[in-house]
Structure 1
Amino acid sequence: MGIHHFFHINFKVSKRSLICIILGFLCINAASAKSGGITNSKGTVDYKAINCRKHGASLADFGGKGDGKTSNTAVFKAAIANLSKVASDGGAQLVVPPGKWLTGSFSLISHFTLYLHKEAVLLASEEESEYPLIDPLPSYGRGRDAAGKRFQSLIFGTNLTDVVVAGGNGTIDGQGAIWWKKFKGKELNNTRPYLIEILYSNQVQISDLTLINSPSWHVHPTYCRDVIIEKLTILAPVDSPNTDGINPDSCTNTRIRDSYVVSGDDCIAVKSGWDEYGIKFGMPTQHLSIRNFTCISPDSAVIALGSEMSGGIQDVRAEEIYAINSQSGVRIKTAPGRGAYVKEIFVRNMNMNTMKYAFWMTGSYGSHPDEGYDPKAFPVIKNINYIDMVGKNVTIAGNLAGIQGHPFTGICISNVTIVMAKKKSSFFAEKPKKLPWNCTDISGTSNDVSPKPCGLLQDKKVECSFPADKLDIDNVELKTCSVSV
């Protein structure tokens, strides 16, 4: 049974069972992402957060109904407005108790925690009227789906300090099917809502949750600093459009840990703005740390850099990455008109099983927001390091295509062993190519790589680099907090 068929008929099985069925031997690691806190003798649950809160309330205290039918949008707004009066005095937290809580978009506040009980399901409304229209992001100039505005995300926040969305592995269900149908039918004039989007904020935490079926991207921190994303299980059908897992966008100091994504698009997509708008806004994604991450995405990348990277991407460190049945392991996507750079990228200890491409770089990913881009704004791609990787059942080891006259430079690949597919993959139509590597307009070095790379990656006895220091965000230790259950 193919993976597309599997998702269509079995998507209602428990999240843990599903992830275990798919990941098999990796399931022992998935248990760490399932932690829902420890209930103690005081009738509270302990959980980890950047800050604990002095004040708290339950959504039920404000008249919420967890019947899966009654809209709680006004209840969420009233509860958060009420807690905003005390949030500056030691912080506030709102608990979503057991039940199915239907809601449209609502906004968070500073010094605040939204906590989902392990038996809570937050159901996203399917009504467009429940999502206010907001302006396009300034670094994009327009919506991603359409030239109009954007539907505000289900959980939204802007200009915040110290905000946490966490839970005992409670579930947020985007109920995206109706949005996917409208998008495919070209019925939308505005961009679909994301599940969680936080803008212009610092000290952001999103953790210990199951996120499913977002209308579009699941997690989108944008123009943020000091972001912690960890212990997420993100699930969407593999044929759902643009259901990226985690998309750090023009963010500084971000860590992604212990998370698992099954998606119809890139599992992690690192971004920083689109063509002339991103160049003008000029805010890079930098100092990003990814560790212990698992992805299944038959049509997209495990980690994508771009294609919207016009503010720049630099200092990305990824390790302990597990790729299964995915189109590509690491992909750089850019084009003339993007400008800026992707540089100082470090990936090590990556395990790939059943892939079309292990390494993929594209200098002609030519989607543009409008005709106002500068075709002579060439991106600089340099100092890309891939270290200590293994792959099996791979169709193409590397497809590395830079830009004529503006090659991608400083590519270093060392200690990599890829076992090529012997027959047509059950997931991809293409048969294995005779040449495992295809390289144009790139330069760099390789050492101890099998199969032997293209000649543009010179064989030298050098080890590719990986930073020895830790990023500041890696050193942040979460506090043990508690919530009444």
Structure 2
Amino acid sequence: MAAQMEVVLGVIILGFLFSVRGIEGRRVGVVESFEYTGISCRAHTVSIKDFGGVGDGKTSNTEAFRNAVVHLSRFSYTGGGLLYVPAGRWLTGNFNLTSHFTLYLARDAVILASQDINDWPLAKPLPSYGHGREAPGGRYTSFIFGTNLTDVILTGEGGTIDGQGEAWWRKFHGGKLKYTRPHLVEIMHSTSFQISNLTLLNSPFWTLHPVYSSNVIIQALRILAPVKSPNTDGIDPDSCTNVRIEDVHIVSGDDCIAVKSGWDEYGIQYGMPTKHLVIRRLTCISPYSAMIALGSEMSGGIEDVRAEDLTAINTESGIRIKTALGRGGYVKDIYVRGMKMHTMKWAFWMDGNYGSHPDGHYNPKARPVVQGINYRDIVAENVTMAAQFKGISGDPFTGICISNATIGMNPKSKEEPWTCSDVQGITSRVTPRPCNKLLHANVVTCAFPKESLPIDEVKLKKCVYKVKNNP
């Protein structure tokens, strides 16, 4: 009951912030028409009801979803296919996506994840992790999953994908799981993926996990989980290139967005960075974690991240960089501007001694590089500590720039506003005054690139459909 109340509270807080754009739906007799904006339109449309789907919240629709996707896969090279999910509560086990495919959820459609652990097949660990993130063995396959695909869309009229994660959280806390919990949505080794205009609810583990993928568009999502639910990250771009995240509102038990690229020696060997990432108009509530975290699994590298128009409310930290000896890799060319924060423990946090290791085979001499970190145009209030910056002895974090930042401290805080070690950089027009390791300059504006990235040039099409509304 407490977990449900937290989610309800999150919905109330964010309700005035969130609006679904560019979508209309209406019923005309036995025909339902709808439209969406997407990277592609489809030539063939079917409803989950055409495959025997029953939206009563009790009947298993696993075979219906799997059969519908197999049917639409036949049209991959003749215009693609769209699977329409009408209003109802559609219980199902895991199912896979296909190329040139759209999954569309109507306004009151809810896809419910099965709570039967037998409905969740096992998979091998990711090669850049070499290890289940929570256990030595493999992991449970994500609820909605796709690999080696192109041109895939998950969208709708504000419909919901509910992972029903509470049973997984109980098993995790009770030490009853031999394998890593599943993600809610995962796309892997794929290109041209869009997810938009949906609510993602109660993931068992990380919510949305694009990995080893490129040209990813994430727009107008609500991602909700109880703030004490374990490891329910909102979005985890992982070894991805050209990703655009816009107009997303997250209530989470962990980082709202966690940027990753592999774990220790496995990530170093795999060598696939996350780069060219855009984040705009993000709202985050996460009392025990960060609005945007870079790492801690960053062994393949993270570079060219551009984040702007950010709002954090009752969140542990604003921007957090997490790494450690043995990680290797790098975090560089990070640009943040236009950030508002309300009730925070830290506005900024960098930690060079964070996180566990997959096994004992990592190289403790694999030193991560952190450089070129730019923050500007920031207002915060009711903050316990302005920043905690801890680099690595003999391997300082360099090129830190903070400009035009006003951080209002909680008057009851007894902490030093700034804690700094093994860092180098410059600040300008920052209050309270930063530590001496960050040199003070009168007029400096930290960098933010003017040129756009290729993912910003992707234009969405208007697609209009009609589907028979079978009783």
Give me the TM-score of the superposition, normalised by structure 1: 0.93
- Aligned partner of 2:422: which letter? D
Looking at structure 2, the residues matched to 438 and 332 of structure 1 have their Cα atoms a distance apart, in angstroms, of 15
Matched residue SS, 2:371: strand
Show the counterpart of 1:244: 233
Say whether the 8 Å CA contact 1:297–1:325 is kept in structure 2.
yes
What's the CA shift for 1:92?
A: 0.5
**Where in structure 1 do 4 or more consecutive aligned residues deviate above 6 Å?**
none
CA distance in 2, matches of 1:45, 1:484: 7
How far apart are 1:483 and its partner, in Å? Answer: 3.1
Equivalent residue, structure 1, for 2:24: 37
CA RMSD across the alignment: 1.5
Equivalent position of 1:170 in the other structure = 159
State the distance in 2 between where 1:227 and 1:125 align.
27
Would the aligned equivalents of 1:36 and 1:169 in 2 still touch at CA under 8 Å? no
1:189-200 mapped onto 2 (5 Å cutoff): 189-200=178-189
Q: Does 1:73 align with 2:91?
A: no
Cα displacement string for residues 134-166 of structure 1 (whole angstroms, at most 9, x for unaligned residues): 100000001111111111001000000100111
Q: CA deviation at 1:432?
A: 3.6
Counterparts of 1:64-463 in structure 2, within 5 Å, are: 64-423=53-412, 431-433=413-415, 435-460=416-441, 461-463=443-445
The secondary structure found in structure 1 opposite 2:266 is: helix
CA distance in 2, matches of 1:207, 1:484: 20
Residues 406 and 11 (structure 1 numbering): CA distance in 2 closer, same or farther, change over 3 Å?
closer
Cα distance change of structure 1 residues 352 and 315 upon mapping to structure 2, 3 Å threshold: same
Given the superposition, is the C-alpha separation of residues 161 and 399 from structure 1 closer, same or farther in structure 2, using an over 3 Å criterion? same
SS in 1 for 2:3: helix
- The answer to whether residue 469 in structure 2 is matched with residue 482 in structure 1 is no
Q: Is contact 1:216–1:244 with CA below 8 Å preserved after alignment?
A: yes
The letter for the 1-side match of 2:365 is K
Preserved CA contact (<8 Å) 1:36 1:118? no
Distance 2:63 2:11 in 1: 37
In structure 1, list runs of 5 or more residues that go unmatched: 424-430
8 Å contact kept, 2:25–2:32? no
1:334-360 per-residue CA deviation (whole Å, 9 max, x = no partner) reads 000000100000000000000000000
Q: Answer yes or no: is 1:10 the counterpart of 2:1.
A: no
Instruction: Report Cα offsets for 1:211-269 as digits up to 9, x if no partner.
Output: 11000011000000000001000110000000000000000000000010000000000
Which letter maps to 2:5? Answer: N
Aligned to 2:453: 471
Q: Which amino acid aligns with 2:102?
A: T
Q: Name the aligned partner's letter for residue 60 of structure 1.
A: K
Aligned to 1:30, the other structure's residue is in SS state coil
Q: Distance in 1 between matches of 2:287 and 2:436?
A: 29
- 1:447-471 per-residue CA deviation (whole Å, 9 max, x = no partner) reads 0000000001101132110000111
- 1:22 paired with 2:13, answer yes
Distance 1:212 1:483 in 2: 27
- Residues of 1 paired with 2:381 and 2:113: CA distance? 39
Give distance in 1, aligned partners of 2:250 and 2:167: 21
CA contact (8 A) 1:34 1:169 kept: no
- 1:35 and 1:194 map into 2 onto residues whose CA distance is 28
**Kept after mapping to 1: 8 A contact 2:7/2:224:** no
Shift of 1:22: 1.9
| Cα distance between partner residues in 1 of 2:81 and 2:333 | 39
Indicate if the aligned counterparts of 2:4 and 2:226 stay in contact, CA closer than 8 A. no
8 Å Cα contact 1:355/1:393 also seen in 2: yes
Superposition deviation, residue 8 in structure 1:
3.4
1:46 CA displacement: 1.2
Paired amino acid for 2:419: N
Residue identity opposite 1:476 in structure 2: V
The alpha-carbon deviation at position 10 of structure 1 amounts to 2.5
Give the TM-score of the pair, scaled to structure 2.
0.96
What is the alpha-carbon distance in structure 2 between the residues aligned to residue 86 and residue 109 of structure 1?
10
Aligned residues: 464
> What is the alpha-carbon distance in structure 1 between the residues aligned to residue 451 and residue 73 of structure 2?
39
Contact 1:35 1:168 in 2 (8 A): no
Q: Distance in 1 between matches of 2:77 and 2:92?
A: 26
Deviation string, structure 1 residues 303-348 (Cα, Å, up to 9, x no partner): 0000000000000000000000000000000000000100000000
- The residue that corresponds to 2:41 in the other structure is 52
User: What do residues 13-61 of structure 1 show as CA deviations (whole Å, max 9, x unaligned)?
Assistant: 4xxxx556324xxx55422x46643549884111111000000100000
Mapped partners of 1:166, 1:386: distance in 2: 33
Task: Give the letter aligned to residue 8 of structure 1.
Answer: A
In 1, are the aligned partners of 2:25 and 2:157 still within 8 Å (CA)? no
- SS of 2:449's partner is coil
1:325 and 1:40, CA in 2 relative to 1: closer, same or farther beyond 3 A? Answer: same
State the alpha-carbon separation in 1 of the partners of residues 333 and 45 from structure 2: 43
Structure 2 distance, partners of 1:473, 1:154, is 27
- Cα offset, 1:396, TM superposition: 0.3
Deviation by residue 1:387-406 (Cα, 9 ceiling, x = unmatched): 00000000000100000000
